[in-house]
Chain A
Amino acid sequence: MSTSFDLNGKPTTLDADPKMPLLWAVREVAGLTGTKFGCGMALCGACTVHLDGKPIRSCITPLSTVAGRKVTTIEGLASRPAKAVQAAWVKLQVPQCGYCQSGQIMSATALLETNSKPTDADIDSAMSGNICRCATYSRIRAAIHAAADSIKV
């Protein structure tokens, strides 16, 4: 069985069980390892990718769901908000162990792509599905604000 979709801007066909979670299809079949496995139940957000621009948990999304649609992983981030988020992450020294940060960045980017000036409440709402056991939360919040400020026109 194969599934065709747009992966990071490239037409892609993956030959895999259509029930295989997108997380494992992207990691083990497409070979993009930036997206992480944390819980397998959409509880921690480490596996967050964008499906047609919206953040989803790839660990519970069957590969078949994405047929004909656009999937973006951390490796494919290219938008202005995405680059601003990544730059702010480095500038504010957000990562500690770093394992959850791909998912955090995907959620933060999706937030900024729809809300250019998020409030703290907006950040709580968009980011509370992403766990960081190192508790880098203060810096995540500050980095999202910094990224928003950096792309203000």
Chain B
Amino acid sequence: MAINPLASASTRRDFLKSAGTASALALTIGFEWGGTTRRALAGATPLTDRSFMPNAFVRVGSDDSVTVIAKHLEMGQGSYTGIATVLAEELDADWTRVRVESAPADAKRYANLAFGTMQGTGGSSAMANSWTQLREAGGKARAMLLAAAAKEWKVSVADLSAEKGVVYHAASKRQASYGALVATATGLPVPEAVKLKDPKDFKLIGQHVPRVDAAAKSDGSAQFTLDVVLPGMLVALLKRPPLFGATVKSFNASAATAVPGVVKVVQVPRGVAVVAKSFWAAKQGRDALQVEWDDSMAEKRGSVALMDEYRHLADQPALSARKDGDALRAIKAATRKVSASYEFPYLAHAPMEPLDAVVKLSADSCEIWAGDQFQTIDQANAAHTAGLDPQQVSIHTLYAGGSFGRRANPGSDYIVEAVSIAKAYGADGTPIKLQWTREDDIHGGLYRPMYFHKLEAGLNDKGELTGWHHVIVGQSIMAGTPFAAMIKDGVDPTSVEGAANIAYTIPNVSVELATTKTGVPVLWWRVVGSSHTAYAVEAFMDEVAHAAGQDGFTFRRKLLDQHPRMQAVLELAAEKAGWGTPLPPGKGRGIAVAEAFKSYVAQVAEVSVGKDGQITVDRVVCAVDCGTAINPDIIAAQMEGGIGFGLGAVLYGAITLKDGRIEQDNFNGYRVLRINEMPKVEVHIVPSAEPPTGVGEPGVAPLGPAVANAIFAATGKRIHVLPFSSSGVA
């Protein structure tokens, strides 16, 4: 079963062009949507006569409230706070009066500028693509409010100042709050251009601005999709096939419909849904439902067989993703050769909120409530499923209880399921909430792909690295999706990012890719390609440094002479971690560095080895350069979270198949990090005046190899098969 590409009816109307550059690591997808999708949704953000909305991103109320419209999903990464901070900074707003509201699905106004003309969140791009746009939006709103004061007081704008939502005229000692100026400002022209602040004048950017969602997320009042309640709403659970690619042969709904509270049982393309008055009734109904599956087209292989095939493919000719000089020849001529292979399993995202969506479908409209990450794609896929035009689909984006990439899927799986159930139910306007269980999530596919990496390197008699040959084997995330336009000469950039753009100065480099096909649907998972390439590159670089008889930090530092920002984070992490200072026996220190989504992160991990050989990660020192630090505390939080997320994955994370069946069901089989396993984390941010880049994902990249390298330092053991638990050290 492949990821469902965008519906053909939509792709006929819409076309796709790639705006990505070869060097871009972020998901710089260019979508050019034709015709109907360009229309704005009417009435999505009603403008009353008591508020001033100079642009799509801010509304100032006559009560002095400032509402910032967030085009990005808040899934924990702090986007709402960051977005509001940037806009409020240039607006000189009173932070205590700032609130955030999610934008409607409207690619015309709310496109992610890093994605071209598509609205969506991903690739750690929220702040980077919003930076100038929101500063200008805030600055223009401020200019109009000042112009309103100048008009009312008949003074020059040049003599006015603004601070915390109040305009001042020093000479006449007059002042007016923004709210008092709303009526006058509304009638004024929007300035074409506006002068942005000198960073030295920032009052919010760079400060510890508290999260706008912290209080609501500490008293149970934050609204997730799970919490949506609408009059007459029903709850649906979907029984999906146990094997990927299987379909419904037949079903018997009599036992399910006999469950009190079950309203209807309907067949949809992805399985058979039980629609009921409550979750509990739907769950019992689904348990009682009998379905016979047609497995004839299903994936029936197991993980072991797949990895065997990948291992074999690594020795076959593959497609080139990077070629400098002649790596194979250099390695052949080398004084010292090093080689290793690394195996990475499928990984589930397992966000805490199991996937869910509420759909209210009628003959001419489809209203969706979801922690929606790809509004434009979800709108198109929902429309196709419902038989509507995209502009008839509206989306209320709610807080998402985590995602880690799972809700950003080109086939909109959970949205399409919910719409198809509402359609099969009768499309009569009854709101239906599709709720996944944890088992549905673990079994549900769209995993981080399984990969096999083979690396070889050559050192000359001076211990210098002369050749680097890296072969990657695994599935493409973009193949068969609208993102396939990003695939260049058969190379999916998400399969090789972090490897093809290896930053070290090596005279001969070859990176190759063998793309495999399986029936297991795959997807980007936090930090995407670097979730495996950073491990392969950085764990292997440690093996190479060791073979050269050099310290891992010193060896890397020299090879990063062409990459000052990467070199600087490496140095900062090493310095703060006390690299080179002695550790007691049974402890080890490891270092790794990575670039991901144009941010640079280095980490030093310290581990202890217990008497039983089990390892504990005691401490991680992290240095990050993400350009201008908009909110240092949120940056630190994302590094801490990335470290914990990455550590759980390298220690325990694995989705495995046996005869096509997923062997894990819930958090017992799919183990994730718990509080007792969380290391002490220290985060150091490199001061920078560069434009901001992302922090949601990059912190994950160097964690695995830093820990693996520390384990080697402590035990002399290299880990080539992930997770570590399968190698007997966790």
A residues in contact (CB < 8 Å) with B: 16-17, 20-21, 24, 27-29, 31-41, 43-44, 46, 73-75, 77, 86, 89-90, 93-102, 105, 123-124, 127-128, 130-141
Contact = CB atoms under 8 A, between A and B. Distances in A.
Interface stretch (B39-47, B70-78, B544-552): B70-78
In the complex, the 8 A-B pairs of residues with the closest C-beta atoms, listed nearest first: A34-B220, A135-B644, A99-B401, A98-B217, A97-B76, A96-B76, A74-B220, A95-B217
B668 A97 contact: no
Interface in B622-674: 633-634, 637, 640-645, 647-648, 666-668, 672-674
Contacts of B226: 33, 36-37
B317 to A, nearest CB: 40
Interface string B217-253: 1111111101101000001000000000000000000
Most buried by A among B75, B279, B404: B279
B84 to A, nearest CB: 15
B129 interface: no
Contact of A39 (B213, B216, B666): B666
B640 A139 contact: yes
A140 B604 CA distance: 23
A135 B640 contact: yes
B352 A131 contact: yes
A77 B218 CA distance: 11
A105 B216 CA distance: 13
A46 B229 contact: no
Contacts of A43: 438, 666-668
Determine the main DSSP class of B at the interface with A. Answer: loop
Contact of B210 (A20, A37, A93, A140): A93
Contact of B675 (A77, A99, A124): A124
Given A74-B220, A95-B217, A133-B404, 6 more contacts: A39-B666, A97-B351, A99-B401, A131-B674, A137-B644, A137-B678
A89 B218 contact: yes
Given A31-B229, A74-B220, A98-B213, A135 B673 contact: yes
A3 to B, nearest CB: 14
Interface string B347-361: 000111110000000
A132 B637 CA distance: 13
Contacts of A138: 640, 644, 678, 680-681
B280 A17 contact: yes
Contact of B278 (A24, A102, A139): A24
Interface of B: 75-78, 210-211, 213-224, 226-227, 229, 235, 260, 278-280, 350-354, 399-404, 435, 437-439, 633-634, 637, 640-645, 647-648, 666-668, 672-676, 678, 680-681
A135 B222 CA distance: 19
Nearest to A135: B644
A135 B438 contact: no
B637 A139 contact: yes
A79 B214 CA distance: 20
A133 to B, nearest CB: 5
Contacts of B279: 24, 27-28, 37
A141 B219 contact: no
B723 to A, nearest CB: 16
A133 B219 contact: no
A49 B676 CA distance: 21
B666 A95 contact: no
Given A89-B218, A134-B76, A40 B211 contact: no
Contact of A36 (B78, B215, B278, B401): B401
Contacts of B211: 93, 95
B400 A97 contact: yes
A90 B641 contact: no
Contacts of A134: 76, 352, 402, 641, 644-645
Contacts of B673: 135, 137
A39 B438 contact: yes
A139 B214 CA distance: 13
Most buried by B among A44, A93, A136: A93
Nearest to A35: B220
B220 A96 contact: no
B224 A123 contact: no
Nearest to B350: A133
Most buried by B among A29, A105, A137, A141: A137
Contact of A34 (B219, B350, B351): B219
A38 B221 CA distance: 17
Contact of A97 (B219, B402, B640, B678): B402
A135 B645 contact: yes
B676 A128 contact: yes
A99 B77 contact: no
B352 A141 contact: no
A36 B675 contact: no
A134 B353 CA distance: 11
Given A21-B280, A93-B637, A101 B350 contact: no
Nearest to A39: B438
Given A28-B279, A128-B675, A133-B351, A40 B219 contact: no
B675 A127 contact: yes
A33 B213 contact: no
Contacts of B640: 135-136, 138-139
Contacts of A29: 278
A139 to B, nearest CB: 7
B220 A135 contact: no
A16 B210 CA distance: 41
5 contacts: A31-B229, A43-B438, A75-B220, A94-B214, A141-B678
Nearest to A86: B218
Contacts of A73: 220
B258 to A, nearest CB: 14
A41 B668 contact: yes
A40 B645 contact: no
Contacts of A131: 352, 667, 672, 674
B676 A136 contact: no
A31 B675 CA distance: 30
A37 B77 contact: no
Given A28-B278, A90-B215, A99 B666 contact: no
A34 B221 contact: yes
B353 A97 contact: yes
B401 A97 contact: yes
B125 to A, nearest CB: 18
Nearest to B78: A96
A93 B81 CA distance: 12
Nearest to B435: A37
A101 B641 contact: no
B643 A135 contact: yes
